Chain A
Amino acid sequence: GAGVSQSPSNKVTEKGKDVELRCDPISGHTALYWYRQSLGQGLEFLIYFQGNSAPDKSGLPSDRFSAERTGGSVSTLTIQRTQQEDSAVYLCASRAPGEYEAFFGQGTRLTVV
């Protein structure tokens, strides 16, 4: 596609429910990143994929968070048993092989009530 696409754009969920956030990277981009943007916290790295493998998942805040990527393309970030502190904008970015610039999607605004 023309850019990184994330869905849904907004998600309101009840505390304790599971949520899935989707990222469609730019076609041909092998690297994919998930970040979390909270008010006043900047962008917090969550996980990095190269192809379907995740060489760096050091930013996942707890075992309630997981992510997968299939076919070297679409990625899903899953948050189980959501808590209010999970409320944030979740951003996905992708990067072409051999390039340094990462392209970001619009993000998914998650609100846990």
Chain B
Amino acid sequence: AQSVSQHNHHVILSEAASLELGCNYSYGGTVNLFWYVQYPGQHLQLLLKYFSGDPLVKGIKGFEAEFIKSKFSFNLRKPSVQWSDTAEYFCAVNKGNTGFQKLVFGTGTRLLVSP
């Protein structure tokens, strides 16, 4: 069965620090990859997505992620975090080429950015 692993459950950073959140998935076929973010008290929203093409994708608010097929990874990065980035981040995967069925989510990473 597909699974998604997010190794960092809690991350605490100071403003302006660089961020990298790990995400690994187990499915070996074609995949679509997503990062969702949930700000305190708000609903889940899409941060960025990868379907095909350039493995380095850029999303909103200065976030980017790199798909490394050989490592089954899709790590999220941001060069300089802000206090407003405090949120929970979820990596998600679904099978490609079969239409969108279900997204399989990781357990999430809680990021706290101190001012």
Contact = CB atoms under 8 A, between A and B. Distances in A.
Contacts of A4: 43
Nearest to A59: B102
Nearest to A55: B101
A33 interface: yes
A41 B107 contact: yes
Interface string A88-113: 00010101000111101111000000
Place the interface of chain B in its size category: 20 to 34
Contacts of A31: 100
Interface string A18-32: 000000000000010
Interface residues of A, number: 26
Interface string B41-61: 011111001010000000000
A43 B90 contact: yes
Given A41-B107, A100-B51, A95 B100 contact: yes
Interface of A: 3-4, 31, 33, 35, 40-45, 48, 55-56, 59, 91, 93, 95, 99-102, 104-107
